[in-house]
Amino acid sequence: MNISGKSLLLTGATGGIGTALAHRLAGEGARLILVSRNQYSLDNLLARLPGEGHTVVSADIGTFEGRQKIVSACQGQLDGLINNAGINSFGMLETLDESQLHQMFEINAMAPILLIRDLLYPLTKSAGFVVNVGSGFGSIGFPGYCAYSASKFALRGFTEALRRELADTAVSVLYFAPRATDTAMNPPEVVELNKELGNTTDSPKRVADELLALLKKGKGNRAIGLPERFFARLNALFPSLVDGALAKQLPAIRRRALAGTEQRT
Ligand SMILES: NC(=O)c1ccc[n+]([C@@H]2O[C@H](COP(=O)([O-])OP(=O)(O)OC[C@H]3O[C@@H](n4cnc5c(N)ncnc54)[C@H](OP(=O)(O)O)[C@@H]3O)[C@@H](O)[C@H]2O)c1
């Protein structure tokens, strides 16, 4: 798929992965509609992007008004929607409050579903594409990330069903799963945990390159990392083996999660 000259909507544009993606997509000649809640960060990003024709929309994708604002900004041509915005609250379930749990589902699963529904007409007209940015934890339920994992499982399941539902249209539906990435989403206790568990952490630039590779292929799913792909496959076939491996990591996960919770209270 060639994205040069295409009009693409990118949510979460000012975050770690979003910023790297915005630069990569703009460098390939795409015209971007950049979304996040913070006008100042959006203006800053816009000022640094290569290419021309980019616009910004400051909107909360978790609200009806925010999504309406985004839809209005896409009234001309829309060739692709990259649902990249996401949030996580790392912690053991009993330490998370109700609004944190609701928000993870609202932003990680419901908002992408609603945005796609609302933008399906222009995407169909342009034979465009959708990329939903999930996570490795959307294939492996991970302790300390119960609600985040569940929201990303929901996003992956939705993507699979929608791809099948739109199989007789020209709209492509893609799913992309990064693993741990060096962004502000991960608080210090997660950074330390990943080091302790020996989990590889990617740079946002590497993640942007991988997403570009998926776009060039133009279909299917792409997950970053050989061991992560292997464990996802193992988890699907023999979940009890992964239960055993994660049980060994549980003391470290619990210790880091509780330390993070204590620091914030
Ligand atoms: N970092 C990782 O380790 C990792 C691993 C796997 C998957 N991922 C996934 O990759 C994606 C990008 O993550 P990231 O690491 O780049 O996160 P990040 O640096 O925390 O950036 C999140 C972005 O989403 C925007 N956002 C959050 N809530 C929003 C809302 N209600 N309305 C509109 N925009 C909102 C933020 O901007 P404002 O706050 O200014 O609105 C920001 O631009 C997410 O879907 C995440 O789940 C990340």
**pLDDT mean over 198-220:** 97
Nearest CA to ligand 1 atom 34: 36
> Does residue 1 belong to any structural domain of this protein?
no
Query: Which structural domain range is residue 222 located in?
Result: 7-264
Mutate to test the pocket of ligand 1, among 131, 185, 200 (most ligand atoms within 8 A of CB): 185
Rounded to whole angstroms, what are the CA distances from 236 to 136, 226, 255? 13, 16, 28
Please tell me the predicted confidence (pLDDT) of residue 264. Answer: 81
Whether residue 214 lies inside any domain: the answer is: yes
Is position 205 within any domain?
yes
Which residue of 43, 114, 131, 183 sits with most ligand 1 atoms within 8 Å of its CB, as the best mutation to test the pocket? 183
User: Which helix or strand (DSSP H or E) is residue 125 part of?
Assistant: helix 111-125
The residue whose C-alpha atom lies closest to atom 39 belonging to ligand 1 is 37
Whether residue 173 lies inside any domain: the answer is yes
**Residue 175: active-site member:** no
Pocket of ligand 1 (CB under 6 A): 11-18, 36-38, 41, 60-62, 84-87, 107, 133, 135, 178, 180-181, 183-186
- For ligand 1, what atom is nearest to the CA of residue 137? 6
In a domain, 199, yes or no: yes
Any idea what the CATH number is for the domain that residue 205 is in?
3.40.50.720
Q: Is residue 43 part of a domain?
A: yes
- Per-residue confidence band for 75, with pLDDT thresholds at 50, 70 and 90: confident
Cα–Cα distance for residue pair 141/145, rounded to 1 Å:
8
pLDDT in tens, 89-148: 999 999 999 999 999 999 999 999 999 999 999 999 999 999 999 999 999 999 999 999
Q: Tokens for 135?
A: 């996570």
Residues 82/8, Cβ–Cβ less than 8 Å: yes
Number of domains in the chain: 1
Answer whether residue 2 is part of any domain.
Answer: no
Minimal CA–CA distance to 133: which of 148, 149, 112?
Answer: 112
On whether residue 22 sits in a domain, the answer given is: yes
